[in-house]
């Protein structure tokens, strides 16, 4: 089964405990089913400039922001298929474009040693790479994801991410997903992806649990953690 290459939707995030996740799964048992890819071990390489221009801009919460990353579903070698992704957000709507390429070809495109594919999406990614000029892998970020989709065929999709880890070393997709953790063992990040308003049953379930929408960027949280570590290091040697 092919994975989707173009997305346009709202993405809302909620931080749950494991108990809240299990309660919500029981509430929505007759409203959702497992996605076509029910569980994924996701690995990402986020690209950025040497001074982290993209993520610094994103954390300012502008009207428009974008990210570039390389993603694999599980450990990926040079010849395995990975996804080059351009993710944009404008006025709360997320637009994502991606290319499926062997990892060796994807890295060549991103480094500028080979052209991007001659396509609409390839052109958009090539333009972004050219605009920033010096993008390179900056942070490795991985997590375990369970995915569900609505039985109502309304485009609603829910994902639950745990064991979110990041690192600045060994920026590649063919190693184990080790690194510093962003969440506690009891925390689960839920993302609700929808082309429009959330269904009433989901709004009521979240309200009953007193769960509120949050602003949370995995890459942003990783970057802020790196900044805190740098400050502590500077204070130690001051």
DSSP run (H or E) holding 89:
strand 81-90
Q: Which CATH architecture has domain 6-236?
A: Alpha-Beta Barrel (3.20)
CA dist., res. 17 & res. 77, Å (int): 34
Beta bridge partners of residue 66, listed in sequence order: 88
Token pair of 237 as six digits: 């040697």
Q: What is the pLDDT of residue 238?
A: 61
Place of tokens 């694999």: 72
Closest CA to 16 of 7, 8, 25: 25
What pLDDT does 1 receive? 53
Strand partners, 64: 90
Rounded distance, CA 67 to CA 49, Å? Answer: 11
Instruction: Please tell me the predicted confidence (pLDDT) of residue 49.
Output: 97
Computed from CA positions of residues 96, 48, 181, 183, in that sequence, does the dihedral angle turn out positive or negative? negative
Q: Name every residue whose Cβ is closer than 8 Å to that of residue 210 and which is 6 or more positions away in sequence.
A: none
The rounded distance, in Å, linking the Cα atoms of 61 and 89 is 10
**Do residues 65 and 87 lie in contact, with contact meaning Cβ atoms separated by under 8 Å?**
no
Q: Distance between CA 12 and CA 214 in Å, rounded?
A: 8
Q: Mind listing the pLDDT tens digit for each residue in 148-166?
A: 999 998 899 999 999 999 9
* Per-residue model confidence (pLDDT) at position 4: 73
CA distance 175 to 29: 35
Query: Which of 164, 162, 132 lies closest to 65 in space, CA to CA?
Result: 132
pLDDT of residue 3: 72
pLDDT, one tens digit per residue, over 184-212 is 999 999 999 999 999 999 999 999 999 99
The predicted pLDDT at position 14 comes to 98
Contact status, residue 110 vs residue 70, Cβ threshold 8 Å? yes
Predicted local confidence at residue 6, as pLDDT: 81
Write down the domain spans for the chain. Answer: 6-236
pLDDT of residue 94: 95
Burial (0-12, 13-18, 19+ Cβ within 10 Å), 11: middle
Rounded CA-CA distance 206/204 in Å is: 5
CA distance 89 to 193: 13
Which residues of the chain fall below pLDDT 70? 1-2, 237-238
pTM score of the predicted model: 0.93
| Residue reference for tokens 């579903």 | 73
Query: Alpha carbon 85 to chain centroid distance?
Result: 10
């Amino acid at each position: 089964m092919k994975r989707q290459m173009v997305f346009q939707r709202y993405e809302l995030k909620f931080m749950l405990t494991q108990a809240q996740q299990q309660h919500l799964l029981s509430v929505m048992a007759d409203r959702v089913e497992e996605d076509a890819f029910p569980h994924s071990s996701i690995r990402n390489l986020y690209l950025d400039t040497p001074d982290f221009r993209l993520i610094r801009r994103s954390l300012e919460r502008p009207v428009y922001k974008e990210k570039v990353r390389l993603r694999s579903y599980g450990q990926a070698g040079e010849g395995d298929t990975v996804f080059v992704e351009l993710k944009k957000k404008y006025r709360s709507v997320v637009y994502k474009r991606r290319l499926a390429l062997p990892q060796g070809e994807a890295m060549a495109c991103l480094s500028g040693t080979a052209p991007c594919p001659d396509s609409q999406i390839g052109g958009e990614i090539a333009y972004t790479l050219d605009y920033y000029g010096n993008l390179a892998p900056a942070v490795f970020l991985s997590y375990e994801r369970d995915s569900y989709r609505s039985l109502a065929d309304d485009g609603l999709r829910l994902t639950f991410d745990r064991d979110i880890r990041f690192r600045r070393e060994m920026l590649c997709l063919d190693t184990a997903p080790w690194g510093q953790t962003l969440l506690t063992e009891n925390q689960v990040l839920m993302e609700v992806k929808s082309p429009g308003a959330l269904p009433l049953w989901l709004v009521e379930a979240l309200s009953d649990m007193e769960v509120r929408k949050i602003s949370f960027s995995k890459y942003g949280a990783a970057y802020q953690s790196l900044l805190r570590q740098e400050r502590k290091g500077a204070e130690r040697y001051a």
